[in-house]
Structure 1
Amino acid sequence: MTYPNTTRRHFQLTLIALPWALAANPVRAHGEQHGKASAAVVKEQKPWGIAGEPREAKRTVEIRMTDDMKLLPNHLEVREGETLRLRAVNKGKLMHEIVIGTSEELKTHADLMKKHPGMEHDEPYMAHVPPGRRGDIVWTFNRPGDFEFACLIAGHFEAGMRGTIRVKPTA
């Protein structure tokens, strides 16, 4: 089959440009470490707070994730307005993650993860952590209330891999 010169040239340019286009806009799957360092964090107000600035985090809480489906500690207390660095440390041999949200949001997301385990997303309230690695979430808890954090990888949430966050109102 022969192509007109313009079609052939267009095809050649597409083949040349495609790798550059893919490199300029990488896709991060849920199964990879989320790329917070390479992109600006989108600050969207959520019921449980908003993405924080790392320089504003006065406290770091290490949350250990293990293959026995535990998060330690599994309860946090935070003051309204506090920016906290949650350091998710995967001590297991399985992929784990931490996602912050309301109980309802986490349950809905966990159900979606069962149906679509390769779902792509990268939000500032999530840290997806390969075995033996760590990931940080910097979050400003600017709304009082009771919230949760959990591993939403299919089956982990249902096995009890979750914790609670109480954000105490300012006086």
Structure 2
Amino acid sequence: MKKYHRALTAILLASAASLSLAHGDDPKSHKTAAATKQQKEWGIAGDAKSVTRTVTLTMDDNMRFTPDKLSFKQGETIRFVIRNKGKLLHELVIGTQKELDEHAAMMLKFPAMEHDEPYMAHVRAGKTGGLIWTFNRPGEFDFACLIAGHYQAGMVGKISVAAASR
């Protein structure tokens, strides 16, 4: 039994270590230089020089985003300025409903897990963070705070990306 627990502990620690990269609070350090650009269903990491619009989102301890509905055009690169007006840590994670559901379930199992992808930003209480994202695919997408319990409390929003006109 001890051997089993040691093996399980080693697997869990290795998994956590591979996912445990910290977020920054500085809106000017959008993490995209360090993160690998990877095409996602909802877009790809953007570059500061390509920003076409800035959107400010606020998060609070009522487990809400303001605004909670966003609309973009395919091809827009958005600079998100994310203000945490609460006293708790919050985050913004962009994705599909399926991806967010899966990630939220993982966060419930490992609430101390930290991660660093170009489509997510942790923002400490009273601080401002940011990210830059290019919405290069049309569709309906989601964003949420996946900190354990926050997603389940309704801290979610919707993103609509209209296809580029030809």
| Structure 2 length-normalised TM | 0.81
Alignment of 1:44 with 2:38, yes or no, is yes
Q: Classify the secondary structure of the residue corresponding to 2:164.
A: coil
Aligned pairs (5 A) from 1:107-146: 107-146=101-140
Over 3 Å counting, the alpha-carbon distance change for 1:156 and 1:53 in structure 2 is same
Q: Which of 70, 78, 98 in structure 2 is aligned with 1:76?
A: 70
2:103 alignment partner AA: H
* Correspondence list, 1:15-164, <5 A: 28-29=21-22, 33=25, 36-37=30-31, 40-164=34-158
Deviations 1:69-101 (A, max 9, x none): 110000000000100011110000000000000
The letter of the residue matching 1:97 is E
Asked whether the equivalents of residues 54 and 138 of structure 1 are also in contact (C-alpha less than 8 Å), the reply is yes
Q: Secondary structure at the match of 2:36?
A: coil
Q: Distance in 2 between matches of 1:108 and 1:155?
A: 14
CA distance, structure 1, for counterparts of residue 102 and residue 115 of structure 2: 15
Gaps of 5+ in 2: 1-19
Identity value in percent: 53
Instruction: Provide runs of 4+ in structure 1 moved above 2 Å.
Output: 27-30, 32-41
Deviation (angstroms), 1:39: 5.3
Unaligned runs of 5+ in 1: 1-26
Shift of 1:119: 1.5
What is the aligned length? 144
- 1: CA distance, partners of 2:102 / 2:140: 17
2:16 paired residue number: none
Letter of the 2:125 counterpart: P
